[in-house]
Amino acid sequence: MDGINVQWNKSIAAFEGTPSGVKVVFEDGTNTEGRLLVGADGSTSKVRRILCPETGFLYQLPIRFLGATVRLTPAEMAPLRALDPLLFQGCHPETSTYLWFATLDTPEVNGSRGDSEYYSAQLNISWPVKSPADEVPATNVEKLQKMKDLADVFEPRLKKAVQNIPEGTEIVEIKLADWPCLKWPFDGKATLLGDAAHAMTMCECDCSQVRLGPLLISVPDRGEAANHGITDARLLHDQLVEVSLGNISQLNAIEKYETEMRDRTSWAVLMSRQACLDAHDFKNLNKESAILARRTRQN
């Protein structure tokens, strides 16, 4: 942020084209003008929803997700670390319920070495929606019970880990949703970047994990979102440099950026969606499934 006049606590309300660029109006009544509006405001992008009032909302996958952060004693942690000292995940072959376990910290890291040692870990469960009974319950108590019910058929060590989550533990629901870079009105004065342009289901790739409160979000898909966001930023930068040098008009520059970005990411979003669905369909999971397929598109 060095050298950038960041304006905090601003929420966009509307924008419109002007002869020289674009005017943005904020919810606090203030406004500003510039040559280009770049919506880089995340998967629930307000800029995208203004650009696409009918098609800019996220598509929710028919998968539901609950998770918790728990403290475990060394004795409770030992059978889980015996499976893997860091993390493991998998789909139950009969119910297609997906379990993700990950160590968040150890006594050495959290400073609990001694008589009161503990580990912090995450336990996440996701499952396909096949009937109204599969929807996420309303209360925290019911959400915890839902996780325990789903784990009832797990292998004994995994079942015990979920069944032993203490009552009162905060259970977080994450809505798995995406947006496959549909077209928006084009005038070369407003564009989208990153998750605002191509929201993907969250992933278990370590470069894309994000913390939300006490929970580290991780879901089984292809782990591409951060890479595409970085690529977007570089390509948009390169096009704007050409504009500043007078080698191309802003209209053509944004058109080139959007064409490449949309071709690259529309496919990736749908593959990520399919990977999430494949991970919850054990009987049809194979080497051709999207969760295992190549990460680049062959033209």
Q: How many CA atoms lie within 13 A of 17 on its CB side?
A: 10
Tokens of 283: 């009987």
Cβ atoms of 58 and 49 closer than 8 Å: no
Q: Residue 254 corresponds to which amino acid? A: I
How far is residue 265's CA from residue 268's CA, in Å, rounded to a whole number? 5
Q: Which of 12, 144, 126, 105 is nearest to 62 (CA)?
A: 126
156-163 helix and 140-150 helix, angle to the nearest 10 degrees: 170
Q: Residue with structure tokens 């994000």?
A: 210
Q: Residue with structure tokens 């998770």?
A: 67
Local structure of 124: helix, strand or coil: strand
Q: Is 98 a catalytic residue?
A: yes
Local structure of 40: helix, strand or coil: coil
User: Long-range contacts of range 48-51, CB-CB < 8 Å, 24 or more positions apart?
Assistant: 48/179, 48/184, 48/192, 48/196, 48/197, 50/12, 50/14, 50/15, 51/184, 51/185, 51/190, 51/192
Which residues sit opposite 59 in a β-bridge? 178
Cβ atoms of 129 and 106 closer than 8 Å: no
Q: Which entry of 59, 98, 118, 257 is annotated as an active-site residue?
A: 98
Instruction: Give the active site residues.
Output: 98
